């Protein structure tokens, strides 16, 4: 996939996902959490799961292998296409070094997303999952931190610093 092609695909996916991403959640409904858990993913509901998985794989591969200008462009793409950013994620657990790295590359590319607190929760979950699976997380956290932005977007530290704070002592 060429750079222009991947952005066109992400733009199209973003348009398909926006109505779902922007639908308000009725938190006054006592069963709202269970309804959300039981609902198919936004990617499935929009009918774009396979295409989104391919696009995400391409982006994460380029992010992990590219230079700083490539990574910056991918971070900007995630910032621009918010519904896509909200809906996509690896379809696998963080239970091997490569899978853990994939999750970290996504977090790095999203560069704190819309809310650093949500990203911190995801990071904590994937670190816990990888550790439980016997993955030595420290070296991978260092590797992906080196690829990450050093901009403190929301006053909670840069993505680079956030990842480094998770390295076991």
User: How far apart are alpha carbons 73 and 109 in whole angstroms?
Assistant: 9
Residue 116 pLDDT > 90, yes or no?
yes
- Which pLDDT band holds residue 2 (cuts at 50, 70, 90)? low
pLDDT in tens, 136-158: 999 999 999 999 999 999 999 99
CA dist 73 and 46 (Å) reads: 26
131 touches 100 (CB < 8 A):
no
The answer for 24, left when phi > 0, alpha when psi is -120 to 50, beta otherwise, is beta
Mean pLDDT, the chain, integer: 95
> How far, in Å, CA of 45 to CA of 17, rounded?
9
pTM of the entire predicted model: 0.92
pLDDT for 29-81, tens place per residue?
999 999 888 999 999 999 999 999 999 999 999 999 999 999 999 999 999 99
Rg (CA), the chain: 16
The 3-class SS string of the chain reads CCHHHHHHHHHHHHHHHHHHHCCCCCCCCCCHHHHHHHCCCHHHHHCCHHHHHHHHHHHHHHHHHCCHHHHHHHHHHHHHCHHHHHHCCCCCCCCCHHHHHHHHHHHHHHCCCCCHHHHHHHHHHHHHHHHHCCCCHHHHHHHHHHHCCCCCCCCCCCHHHHHHHCCCC
């Amino acid at each position: 996939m060429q750079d222009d092609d991947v952005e066109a695909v992400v733009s199209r996916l973003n348009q398909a996902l926006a109505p779902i991403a922007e639908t308000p959640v009725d938190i006054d409904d006592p069963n709202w959490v269970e309804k959300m858990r039981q609902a198919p993913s936004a990617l499935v509901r929009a009918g774009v799961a396979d295409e989104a998985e391919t696009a995400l794989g391409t982006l994460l591969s380029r992010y992990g292998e590219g230079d700083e200008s490539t990574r910056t462009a991918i971070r900007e793409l995630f910032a621009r296409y918010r519904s896509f950013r909200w809906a996509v994620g690896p379809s696998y657990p963080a239970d091997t070094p490569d899978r853990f790295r994939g999750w970290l590359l996504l977090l790095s590319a999203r560069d704190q997303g819309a809310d650093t607190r949500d990203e911190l929760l995801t990071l904590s979950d994937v670190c816990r999952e990888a550790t439980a699976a016997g993955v030595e997380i420290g070296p991978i956290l260092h590797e992906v931190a080196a690829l990450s932005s050093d901009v403190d977007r929301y006053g909670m530290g840069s993505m680079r610093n956030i990842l480094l704070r998770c390295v076991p002592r």
